[in-house]
Structure 1
Amino acid sequence: MNVEKLMKMAGSVRTGGKGTMRRKKKAVHKTTTTDDKRLQSTLKRIGVNAIPAIEEVNIFKEDVVIQFVNPKVQASVAANTWVVSGTPQNKKLQDILPQIINQLGPDNLENLKKLAEQFQKQASGAGAAEDDDDDVPELVAGETFEAAAEEGQSQTS
Protein backbone atom coordinates (compact mmCIF):
# COMPACT_ATOMS: atom_id res chain seq x y z
CA MET A 1 0.00 0.00 0.00
CA ASN A 2 0.98 3.57 -0.56
CA VAL A 3 2.40 5.21 2.60
CA GLU A 4 1.01 8.65 1.73
CA LYS A 5 -2.47 7.25 1.29
CA LEU A 6 -2.26 5.52 4.68
CA MET A 7 -1.10 8.75 6.33
CA LYS A 8 -4.08 10.65 4.88
CA MET A 9 -6.50 7.99 6.09
CA ALA A 10 -4.93 7.91 9.54
CA GLY A 11 -4.99 11.70 9.77
CA SER A 12 -8.70 11.91 8.93
CA VAL A 13 -9.80 9.71 11.86
CA ARG A 14 -7.96 11.56 14.58
CA THR A 15 -9.89 14.10 16.63
CA GLY A 16 -6.81 16.20 17.34
CA GLY A 17 -3.12 16.14 16.54
CA LYS A 18 -0.46 13.43 16.88
CA GLY A 19 -0.87 11.25 19.94
CA THR A 20 -4.60 11.89 20.44
CA MET A 21 -7.29 9.29 20.64
CA ARG A 22 -9.02 8.05 17.54
CA ARG A 23 -12.75 8.40 17.09
CA LYS A 24 -14.69 5.40 18.35
CA LYS A 25 -17.54 5.72 15.86
CA LYS A 26 -18.46 7.85 12.92
CA ALA A 27 -20.60 10.94 13.64
CA VAL A 28 -24.13 10.50 12.31
CA HIS A 29 -25.82 13.67 11.10
CA LYS A 30 -29.37 14.22 12.30
CA THR A 31 -32.13 14.69 9.77
CA THR A 32 -34.86 17.33 9.82
CA THR A 33 -37.34 14.99 11.51
CA THR A 34 -36.58 16.79 14.77
CA ASP A 35 -38.21 19.92 13.31
CA ASP A 36 -41.29 17.90 12.39
CA LYS A 37 -41.46 16.38 15.87
CA ARG A 38 -41.12 19.82 17.46
CA LEU A 39 -43.86 21.21 15.23
CA GLN A 40 -46.19 18.30 16.01
CA SER A 41 -45.63 18.70 19.75
CA THR A 42 -46.41 22.43 19.50
CA LEU A 43 -49.57 21.72 17.53
CA LYS A 44 -50.59 19.11 20.09
CA ARG A 45 -50.13 21.68 22.86
CA ILE A 46 -52.37 24.14 20.98
CA GLY A 47 -55.00 21.43 20.71
CA VAL A 48 -55.47 20.94 16.98
CA ASN A 49 -57.84 18.25 15.76
CA ALA A 50 -57.67 16.46 12.42
CA ILE A 51 -60.48 17.25 10.00
CA PRO A 52 -61.25 14.17 7.88
CA ALA A 53 -62.61 13.85 4.33
CA ILE A 54 -61.12 16.99 2.79
CA GLU A 55 -60.26 16.28 -0.81
CA GLU A 56 -58.76 19.62 -1.88
CA VAL A 57 -57.49 22.88 -0.40
CA ASN A 58 -56.95 26.02 -2.49
CA ILE A 59 -55.02 29.02 -1.16
CA PHE A 60 -55.39 32.17 -3.26
CA LYS A 61 -52.44 34.56 -3.57
CA GLU A 62 -53.00 37.34 -6.12
CA ASP A 63 -53.14 35.54 -9.49
CA VAL A 64 -51.60 32.26 -8.22
CA VAL A 65 -53.47 29.44 -6.51
CA ILE A 66 -51.63 27.01 -4.23
CA GLN A 67 -53.54 23.74 -4.50
CA PHE A 68 -53.25 20.76 -2.15
CA VAL A 69 -54.86 17.51 -3.34
CA ASN A 70 -55.88 15.10 -0.53
CA PRO A 71 -54.13 17.12 2.21
CA LYS A 72 -53.99 16.44 5.92
CA VAL A 73 -55.92 19.28 7.54
CA GLN A 74 -55.80 20.09 11.25
CA ALA A 75 -57.53 22.96 13.01
CA SER A 76 -57.89 24.65 16.37
CA VAL A 77 -60.73 27.14 16.43
CA ALA A 78 -59.79 28.42 19.89
CA ALA A 79 -56.24 29.26 18.75
CA ASN A 80 -57.42 30.45 15.31
CA THR A 81 -54.96 28.04 13.71
CA TRP A 82 -55.29 25.92 10.57
CA VAL A 83 -52.61 23.50 9.42
CA VAL A 84 -52.59 22.17 5.86
CA SER A 85 -49.90 19.63 5.05
CA GLY A 86 -49.33 17.78 1.83
CA THR A 87 -47.77 18.29 -1.57
CA PRO A 88 -48.57 21.75 -2.99
CA GLN A 89 -48.97 22.63 -6.65
CA ASN A 90 -48.77 26.21 -7.93
CA LYS A 91 -51.35 26.96 -10.60
CA LYS A 92 -52.58 30.08 -12.35
CA LEU A 93 -55.96 31.40 -11.30
CA GLN A 94 -57.28 31.36 -14.87
CA ASP A 95 -56.50 27.64 -15.22
CA ILE A 96 -58.20 26.53 -12.01
CA LEU A 97 -61.17 28.94 -11.94
CA PRO A 98 -63.59 26.68 -13.91
CA GLN A 99 -62.98 23.83 -11.44
CA ILE A 100 -63.64 26.10 -8.46
CA ILE A 101 -66.86 27.54 -9.90
CA ASN A 102 -68.24 24.02 -10.37
CA GLN A 103 -67.58 23.23 -6.70
CA LEU A 104 -69.32 26.36 -5.40
CA GLY A 105 -73.04 26.49 -4.73
CA PRO A 106 -75.31 29.35 -5.87
CA ASP A 107 -74.89 31.24 -2.57
CA ASN A 108 -71.11 31.16 -2.68
CA LEU A 109 -71.12 32.09 -6.36
CA GLU A 110 -72.81 35.40 -5.48
CA ASN A 111 -70.18 36.05 -2.80
CA LEU A 112 -67.44 35.32 -5.33
CA LYS A 113 -68.96 37.83 -7.75
CA LYS A 114 -69.02 40.51 -5.02
CA LEU A 115 -65.36 39.84 -4.19
CA ALA A 116 -64.41 40.04 -7.86
CA GLU A 117 -66.19 43.39 -8.20
CA GLN A 118 -64.36 44.76 -5.16
CA PHE A 119 -61.00 43.67 -6.55
CA GLN A 120 -61.79 45.23 -9.92
CA LYS A 121 -62.70 48.53 -8.25
CA GLN A 122 -59.47 48.54 -6.29
CA ALA A 123 -57.39 47.63 -9.31
CA SER A 124 -58.95 50.24 -11.60
CA GLY A 125 -58.75 53.04 -9.03
CA ALA A 126 -62.52 53.51 -8.91
CA GLY A 127 -62.42 52.69 -5.22
CA ALA A 128 -60.39 55.84 -4.54
CA ALA A 129 -63.36 58.11 -5.32
CA GLU A 130 -65.56 56.17 -2.90
CA ASP A 131 -62.97 56.41 -0.11
CA ASP A 132 -63.47 60.18 0.06
CA ASP A 133 -66.43 59.56 2.41
CA ASP A 134 -63.94 59.06 5.24
CA ASP A 135 -62.67 62.64 4.97
CA VAL A 136 -63.74 65.35 7.40
CA PRO A 137 -66.74 67.29 6.05
CA GLU A 138 -66.26 70.97 5.35
CA LEU A 139 -67.80 73.54 7.70
CA VAL A 140 -70.93 75.39 6.73
CA ALA A 141 -70.35 79.14 6.51
CA GLY A 142 -71.31 80.93 9.71
CA GLU A 143 -71.30 77.81 11.92
CA THR A 144 -68.67 76.75 14.42
CA PHE A 145 -68.15 73.53 16.31
CA GLU A 146 -68.94 75.21 19.61
CA ALA A 147 -72.33 76.47 18.38
CA ALA A 148 -73.24 73.02 17.05
CA ALA A 149 -72.21 71.41 20.34
CA GLU A 150 -74.31 73.85 22.37
CA GLU A 151 -77.33 73.17 20.14
CA GLY A 152 -76.88 69.43 20.62
CA GLN A 153 -76.74 69.82 24.41
CA SER A 154 -79.82 72.03 24.52
CA GLN A 155 -81.80 69.53 22.40
CA THR A 156 -80.92 66.58 24.66
CA SER A 157 -81.78 68.46 27.87
Structure 2
Amino acid sequence: MQMNVEKLMKMAGAVRTGGKGSVRRKKKAVHKTTTTDDKRLQSTLKRLGVNAIPAIEEVNIFKDDIVIQFPNPKVQASITANTWVVSGTPTTKKLQDLLPGIINQLGPDNLDNLRRLAEQFQKQAPGAGAAPEDDDEEVPDLVPGETFEAAAEDGQAQAS
Protein backbone atom coordinates (compact mmCIF):
# COMPACT_ATOMS: atom_id res chain seq x y z
CA MET A 1 0.00 0.00 0.00
CA GLN A 2 1.49 3.30 -1.05
CA MET A 3 0.26 6.71 0.04
CA ASN A 4 -0.82 9.02 -2.69
CA VAL A 5 0.97 12.32 -1.92
CA GLU A 6 -1.36 14.37 -4.14
CA LYS A 7 -4.46 13.00 -2.42
CA LEU A 8 -2.94 13.66 1.03
CA MET A 9 -2.12 17.30 0.15
CA LYS A 10 -5.66 17.80 -1.17
CA MET A 11 -7.16 16.48 2.11
CA ALA A 12 -4.87 18.71 4.21
CA GLY A 13 -5.98 21.81 2.30
CA ALA A 14 -9.66 21.03 2.86
CA VAL A 15 -9.47 21.15 6.67
CA ARG A 16 -11.93 23.66 8.15
CA THR A 17 -12.56 24.64 11.74
CA GLY A 18 -16.33 25.05 11.52
CA GLY A 19 -17.48 22.81 8.72
CA LYS A 20 -18.79 23.48 5.22
CA GLY A 21 -20.57 26.81 4.88
CA SER A 22 -19.47 28.17 8.25
CA VAL A 23 -18.89 31.88 8.65
CA ARG A 24 -15.37 33.03 9.30
CA ARG A 25 -14.59 34.89 12.45
CA LYS A 26 -14.37 38.60 11.62
CA LYS A 27 -12.58 39.84 14.72
CA LYS A 28 -10.51 38.31 17.42
CA ALA A 29 -12.17 37.83 20.80
CA VAL A 30 -10.54 40.03 23.43
CA HIS A 31 -10.54 38.60 26.97
CA LYS A 32 -10.65 41.04 29.85
CA THR A 33 -8.13 40.59 32.60
CA THR A 34 -8.90 40.86 36.28
CA THR A 35 -6.31 43.59 36.80
CA THR A 36 -9.04 46.22 36.65
CA ASP A 37 -10.64 44.71 39.77
CA ASP A 38 -7.28 44.68 41.53
CA LYS A 39 -6.62 48.30 40.58
CA ARG A 40 -10.06 49.37 41.83
CA LEU A 41 -9.53 47.51 45.12
CA GLN A 42 -6.09 49.04 45.59
CA SER A 43 -7.42 52.56 44.94
CA THR A 44 -10.22 52.03 47.50
CA LEU A 45 -7.77 50.76 50.07
CA LYS A 46 -5.49 53.72 49.39
CA ARG A 47 -8.41 56.08 50.03
CA LEU A 48 -9.03 54.38 53.39
CA GLY A 49 -5.39 54.89 54.27
CA VAL A 50 -4.39 51.31 55.01
CA ASN A 51 -0.83 50.58 56.04
CA ALA A 52 0.98 47.26 55.66
CA ILE A 53 1.72 45.40 58.87
CA PRO A 54 4.96 43.42 58.48
CA ALA A 55 6.13 40.19 60.13
CA ILE A 56 2.79 38.41 60.55
CA GLU A 57 3.30 34.69 60.12
CA GLU A 58 -0.28 33.44 60.38
CA VAL A 59 -3.86 34.71 60.59
CA ASN A 60 -6.68 32.55 61.98
CA ILE A 61 -10.32 33.60 61.58
CA PHE A 62 -12.70 31.69 63.87
CA LYS A 63 -16.25 31.11 62.65
CA ASP A 64 -18.46 28.68 64.61
CA ASP A 65 -16.53 25.39 64.62
CA ILE A 66 -14.32 26.09 61.60
CA VAL A 67 -11.09 28.07 61.30
CA ILE A 68 -10.02 29.94 58.18
CA GLN A 69 -6.24 29.93 58.26
CA PHE A 70 -3.92 32.17 56.22
CA PRO A 71 -0.26 31.09 56.36
CA ASN A 72 2.17 33.96 55.61
CA PRO A 73 -0.52 36.51 54.66
CA LYS A 74 -0.18 40.12 53.57
CA VAL A 75 -1.95 42.14 56.26
CA GLN A 76 -2.99 45.77 55.87
CA ALA A 77 -4.93 47.83 58.39
CA SER A 78 -6.58 51.19 58.83
CA ILE A 79 -7.31 51.65 62.52
CA THR A 80 -9.31 54.85 61.98
CA ALA A 81 -11.59 53.19 59.42
CA ASN A 82 -11.74 49.95 61.48
CA THR A 83 -10.67 48.03 58.38
CA TRP A 84 -8.35 45.04 58.18
CA VAL A 85 -7.30 43.45 54.90
CA VAL A 86 -5.89 39.92 54.94
CA SER A 87 -4.78 38.59 51.57
CA GLY A 88 -3.27 35.25 50.77
CA THR A 89 -4.29 31.67 50.14
CA PRO A 90 -6.73 30.47 52.80
CA THR A 91 -7.26 26.95 54.07
CA THR A 92 -10.37 25.90 55.97
CA LYS A 93 -9.98 23.47 58.85
CA LYS A 94 -12.06 22.19 61.75
CA LEU A 95 -11.37 23.74 65.13
CA GLN A 96 -10.79 20.34 66.76
CA ASP A 97 -7.88 19.63 64.41
CA LEU A 98 -6.08 22.89 65.26
CA LEU A 99 -6.64 23.09 69.02
CA PRO A 100 -3.27 21.79 70.24
CA GLY A 101 -1.27 24.26 68.14
CA ILE A 102 -3.31 27.44 68.64
CA ILE A 103 -4.36 27.44 72.28
CA ASN A 104 -1.42 29.65 73.20
CA GLN A 105 -2.39 32.12 70.43
CA LEU A 106 -6.00 32.64 71.56
CA GLY A 107 -7.14 35.83 73.21
CA PRO A 108 -9.64 36.04 76.11
CA ASP A 109 -12.69 36.22 73.80
CA ASN A 110 -11.74 33.10 71.92
CA LEU A 111 -10.89 31.22 75.11
CA ASP A 112 -14.52 31.69 76.17
CA ASN A 113 -15.64 30.32 72.81
CA LEU A 114 -13.29 27.38 73.29
CA ARG A 115 -14.81 26.63 76.72
CA ARG A 116 -18.29 26.75 75.20
CA LEU A 117 -17.24 24.31 72.46
CA ALA A 118 -15.67 21.97 75.01
CA GLU A 119 -18.92 21.94 77.01
CA GLN A 120 -20.90 21.09 73.87
CA PHE A 121 -18.57 18.20 73.06
CA GLN A 122 -18.85 16.87 76.61
CA LYS A 123 -22.64 16.87 76.34
CA GLN A 124 -22.48 15.02 73.02
CA ALA A 125 -19.92 12.43 74.11
CA PRO A 126 -21.36 9.18 75.45
CA GLY A 127 -20.61 8.53 79.12
CA ALA A 128 -19.62 12.13 79.78
CA GLY A 129 -20.95 11.88 83.33
CA ALA A 130 -24.09 13.87 82.70
CA ALA A 131 -27.21 12.08 83.90
CA PRO A 132 -29.82 11.64 81.19
CA GLU A 133 -33.02 13.53 81.77
CA ASP A 134 -36.19 11.48 82.33
CA ASP A 135 -38.67 12.29 79.61
CA ASP A 136 -42.22 11.04 79.47
CA GLU A 137 -41.80 10.95 75.69
CA GLU A 138 -39.08 8.26 75.75
CA VAL A 139 -39.88 4.77 74.54
CA PRO A 140 -39.53 2.25 77.39
CA ASP A 141 -37.04 -0.57 77.08
CA LEU A 142 -38.79 -3.80 76.19
CA VAL A 143 -38.23 -7.04 78.01
CA PRO A 144 -37.58 -10.02 75.71
CA GLY A 145 -40.83 -11.81 75.01
CA GLU A 146 -43.05 -8.73 75.47
CA THR A 147 -44.75 -6.88 72.63
CA PHE A 148 -45.32 -3.18 72.12
CA GLU A 149 -49.04 -3.58 72.72
CA ALA A 150 -48.52 -5.31 76.07
CA ALA A 151 -46.08 -2.64 77.24
CA ALA A 152 -48.51 0.11 76.18
CA GLU A 153 -51.39 -1.55 78.06
CA ASP A 154 -49.23 -1.88 81.18
CA GLY A 155 -48.29 1.79 80.91
CA GLN A 156 -51.96 2.82 80.68
CA ALA A 157 -52.92 0.61 83.61
CA GLN A 158 -50.17 2.10 85.79
CA ALA A 159 -51.19 5.66 84.84
CA SER A 160 -54.81 5.16 85.99
Say whether the fold is shared (TM-score over 0.5): yes
Q: Which runs of 5+ in 1 are unaligned?
A: 15-22, 125-157
1:12 Cα offset (Å): 2.5
- Decide whether aligned partners of structure 1 residues 70 and 113 sit closer, same or farther in structure 2, where only a CA change above 3 A counts: closer
Instruction: Give 2:24's aligned residue.
Output: 12
Letter aligned with residue 58 of structure 2: E
- Decide whether aligned partners of structure 1 residues 6 and 95 sit closer, same or farther in structure 2, where only a CA change above 3 A counts: same
Alignment of 1:1-157 (within 5 A): 1-2=13-14, 7-8=21-22, 11-14=23-26, 23=27, 26-104=28-106, 108=107, 112-117=110-115
Letter aligned with residue 65 of structure 1: V
SS of the counterpart of 1:95? helix
CA distance in structure 1 between the aligned counterparts of 2:25 and 2:36, rounded to whole angstroms: 28
CA distance in structure 1 between the aligned counterparts of 2:118 and 2:68, rounded to whole angstroms: 22
1:33-86 superposed Cα distances (whole Å, 9 cap, x missing partner): 211111011001110000000000000010100000000000001111000000
1:84-114 superposed Cα distances (whole Å, 9 cap, x missing partner): 000000000001111111335xxx4x65443
Letter aligned with residue 50 of structure 1: A
Letter aligned with residue 92 of structure 2: N
CA distance in structure 1 between the aligned counterparts of 2:41 and 2:47, rounded to whole angstroms: 10
CA distance in structure 1 between the aligned counterparts of 2:105 and 2:118, rounded to whole angstroms: 23
Aligned Cα RMSD in Å? 2.9
SS of the counterpart of 1:78? coil
CA distance in structure 1 between the aligned counterparts of 2:61 and 2:97, rounded to whole angstroms: 14
Give the count of matched residue pairs.
108
Structure with more of its chain in helix, by fraction: 1
- Decide whether aligned partners of structure 1 residues 44 and 52 sit closer, same or farther in structure 2, where only a CA change above 3 A counts: same
SS of the counterpart of 1:13? coil
CA distance in structure 2 between the aligned counterparts of 1:60 and 1:3, rounded to whole angstroms: 58
Q: What TM-score comes out, normalization by structure 2 length?
A: 0.56
SS of the counterpart of 1:30? coil
